Amino acid sequence: MKLFGIFRRRATTTIQSKAGLAPLLGLLAIMAISFAVTPLRAGFEEGWDAYQRGDFTTAINEWKPLATAGDTRAQFNLGVLFDQGKGVPLNRIAAVHWWRKAAEGGFASAQHNLANSLIAGDGVAQDYGAAIDWLKQASSLGLARSKYTLGKMYAFGLGVEADKTLSMRWIVEAAEAGNLAAQYNAAKMYRDGDGVAQDYREAVKWYRLAAEAGYGKAQAGLAQRYAAGEGIGKDLVQALMWTTLAANQGLGRAVTAREDLLATMSSDEIAAADGLVKIRAAAAD
């Protein structure tokens, strides 16, 4: 009898607590939702810290649930880890899978990387037309690198009719946004009158911007302008300085150009150029 009594009391308690549970459940639901949002951010940061430490396994473990839940930044980064084989065996199909999800979610860097996978045919069938579409989307979001790549697609006629004028337009846009490769290419196109009226001064302007930022090929190009005195006053000391900076980066043709210059210059001029190189090297350190 006693035993039954206990059972009855337990049953009653359960029924009573069920009655008072509705508001509690509501509260729990609200908490669950807010918790679900907070760990999303926390998980990303923890993943990012692990990534910086070189602990890619933890980064993947943190980002994977976020990526699955639709976080485009986590999707993009997961794609990078698969593409570079960090913390996982290199897998370009998986990289494309995550980049496509992030690209469809409007993440510009993912649109750019997906476009380049489509161009190279890495992890996906080569498709220049689809690549152009993604590059245009990323460009419209302001990504300079995509504008530059679009410029190259128009220059080579990949997935589009070759169009030097359109190529130049995209490359100058990317150059204006600070893309060094685009600045160097804009300089060459102005120098050669390729897709635009020849303009040595504009060529020098773009060579200089990229050269000052340390872009080796632009340094070699600027050196040539100084040596030829085209678009700028002829100045062999400046020419030698820029070609030496480019040669120091291991640029083969700058090494040759430097030897040619040295043969025509006085020891005073060479010493002056060496002094300038040292000043720049010291400033760079």
Partner 1 sequence: MPVRRLLIMVIVAAVVGVTGIARATVNDAANFINQLGNQAISTLRATDLTLSQREAQFRKLLSRGFDLHFIGRFVLGRYWRRATPEQQNDYIALYGEYLLQTYSSRLGGYSGETLIVTGARQASEKDIVVSTKLDRPNGLDIAADWRVRVIDGRYRIIDVAIEGISMAFTQRSDFASVIRRDGMEGLLTVLRARTTKISATASIN
CB of 54 to partner 1, least distance (A): 4
- Residue holding tokens 């008072």? 20
Calpha distance 276→272 (Å, rounded): 6
Applying CB under 8 A, the span of 24-32, 117-125, 221-229, 268-276 interacting with partner 1 comes to 117-125
Name the residue type at position 249: Q
Applying CB under 8 A, the span of 12-20, 74-82, 192-200, 222-230 interacting with partner 1 comes to 74-82
Calpha distance 249→103 (Å, rounded): 35
- Interacting residue with partner 1 among 156, 178, 212, 278 (CB under 8 A): 156
Residue 161 sits in the site that holds partner 1 (CB under 8 A):
no
CB of 235 to partner 1, least distance (A): 25
CB of 239 to partner 1, least distance (A): 20
User: In this structure, what token pair is assigned to residue 92?
Assistant: 């370009």
CB of 150 to partner 1, least distance (A): 11
CB of 179 to partner 1, least distance (A): 10
> How does DSSP assign 30-67, residue by residue?
HHHHHHHHHHHHHHHHHHHHHHHHT-HHHHHHHHHHHH
Dihedral sign of CA atoms 71, 77, 83, 89 in order: negative
- Residue holding tokens 């337009």? 169
Residue ranges that bind partner 1, judged by CB under 8 A: 44, 48, 51-57, 73, 76-77, 80-81, 83-86, 90, 107-109, 112-113, 116-117, 119-122, 141, 145, 148-149, 152, 156, 158, 217, 250-253
